[in-house]
Chains A and B, each alone.
Chain A
Amino acid sequence: MKHAEKELIAIKEEVSRMWTLVLSQLEKAKQAFFNNDVEQAREVVSREKRVNTFELKIDSDCENYIALYNPVAIDLRLVLSLIKISYTLERIGDFAEGIARHIVEDSCDAVTESLKDELELAVMFDTVIEMLSDSFTALDSENTRLSGKILAKDERIDAIYRNAIRKLAVYLRKEPAQIECGLKTMLILRKIERIGDHCSNIVEEIVFYIDAKVLKHKKNREPAA
């Protein structure tokens, strides 16, 4: 294997490690939310710095790679994709931290289990975790077959989110005293919905890298099989 290829694989492995960390942050944020586990939420907040460190390291490695190796073709597409994926993973890490901060800072018993169920929060959490995990598999296996499924999940998240906001509004009309908890819940819903969007962005980058196709800002984003 050529030296340049080894360097690029090393960056890809670094992105994989960042991915694993962000996935773990998201899973822990979910557990902290459902168990109202302040300690676990604190752990997510404190580990956010590690996510940021990964982003800086990957940025620097990619800059060096471009400057030193002048990549073209699939190598150029990969390095461009890795820069954007690492930026997007960092944003997802921020959202996981944001969710955890809600738990640490504003304990709110009013978000009952039944309300969580009604808003399908567990489904939303699980779906974005699947999206992030599946997109990792797509990059790791260099296979875009999963991309259509992942993008479809984002549509599902958007639909659940819109529905949840309507249900939350109905709930708050009945329980106006719970407005603070309601707003907190709305912010969490919004963060999960944005994580779904970011997972879609990651998939678009993977398709750009592997198939050299640009899905961004296209209505029909599903790549051809």
Chain B
Amino acid sequence: MIEAKNIDFYYGDFHALKNISMKMEAHTVTAFIGPSGCGKSTFLRLFNRMNDLIDATRLTGECRIDGADIYHKSVDVDELRKKVGMVFQKPNPFPKSVFENVAYGLRVGGMTDKNRIRQRVEAALTGAALWDEVKDKLKKSAFELSGGQQQRLCIARALAISPAILLMDEPASALDPVSTSKIEDLIHVLKKEYTLVIVTHNMQQAARVSDKTGFFMLGELVEFSDTKKMFLNPEKEETQNYLTGRFG
């Protein structure tokens, strides 16, 4: 389970997240929606400590995964990121072959057995619903794949190191509808083995793929509820205005 408690986050003087608390159960998909700059990506990046890479940031509150404080000084951030994988808005394959993209994390993690690596790569590509499309071009450059395939390759790369949690920051926003649909189908399948948290600007996508949805605005979590409830009968007027396009 992922748990955030009374989170405040600052970029310098800018108060980006304001007293946010939320629990996300294992094997669920949670979507974060909200206008640009509302803090949803900042909040997502807390869970694999990607915000640590940004200067002059400050965090207060508790952020726990399976009960453990991930910001405790004893936490090895590299180990945390093995457990909490991330997929970004734009597919960002390495300038390597399809196979090596997926094998990279395994090799960096110290795996040397070629057979084992091959098995894990195949399993990850299968898990990302890409194996059938790339099994005959594993040695080709990842850049030769289509945008949708590259994004699924990035998902496979994240899956290869067996994370428990997958964070997705607008994973389909750069993709065409067919590729988007494949990613959404994949999210439904991945939820059986992983806990997924997804940031999306596409509200219908949030409605289609998630179990719970959090609506953020101006750094606040306005509403967090079952997706079906939020999209049929949101509690807060701000949520309703945003969902129905009457925001702003």
Contacts and interface: CB of A to CB of B under 8 A. Distances in A.
Asked if chains A and B come from one complex, the reply is yes
A77 interface: yes
A76 B232 contact: yes
A134 B109 CA distance: 71
Interface stretch (B24-32, B170-178, B187-195, B237-245): B237-245
Dominant SS at the B interface?
helix
B112 interface: no
Interface in B202-227: 203-204, 207
4 nearest interchain CB pairs? A212-B233, A72-B231, A73-B243, A72-B243
22 contacts: A2-B245, A2-B246, A4-B244, A4-B245, A5-B244, A5-B245, A5-B246, A72-B203, A72-B207, A72-B232, A72-B244, A73-B231, A73-B233, A73-B239, A73-B240, A73-B243, A73-B244, A74-B240, A75-B244, A76-B231, A212-B232, A212-B233
Interface string A181-225: 000000000000000000000000000000010000000000000
Nearest to A69: B245
Nearest to A5: B246
A77 B233 CA distance: 8
Interface of A: 2, 4-5, 70-77, 212
Interface in B4-24: none
A199 to B, nearest CB: 24
A73 B204 CA distance: 12
A22 to B, nearest CB: 28
Contacts of A76: 231-232
Nearest to A78: B244
Given A2-B246, A72-B243, 14 more contacts: A2-B245, A4-B244, A5-B246, A70-B204, A71-B244, A72-B207, A72-B231, A72-B232, A73-B232, A73-B234, A73-B240, A73-B244, A74-B244, A77-B232
Contacts, number: 33
A209 B231 CA distance: 13
Dominant SS at the A interface?
helix
Contacts of B234: 73
Nearest to B234: A73
A77 B243 CA distance: 13
Contacts of B204: 70
Nearest to B248: A2
A76 B233 CA distance: 9
A72 B207 CA distance: 9
Contacts of A2: 245-246
Contacts of B243: 72-73
A212 B240 CA distance: 13
A212 B204 CA distance: 20
Contacts of A72: 203, 207, 231-232, 243-244
A5 B207 CA distance: 21
A73 to B, nearest CB: 5
A166 to B, nearest CB: 44
Contacts of A75: 244
Nearest to A3: B245
Contacts of B233: 73, 77, 212
A70 to B, nearest CB: 5
Contacts of A5: 244-246
Contacts of B240: 73-74
B37 to A, nearest CB: 21
Contacts of B203: 72
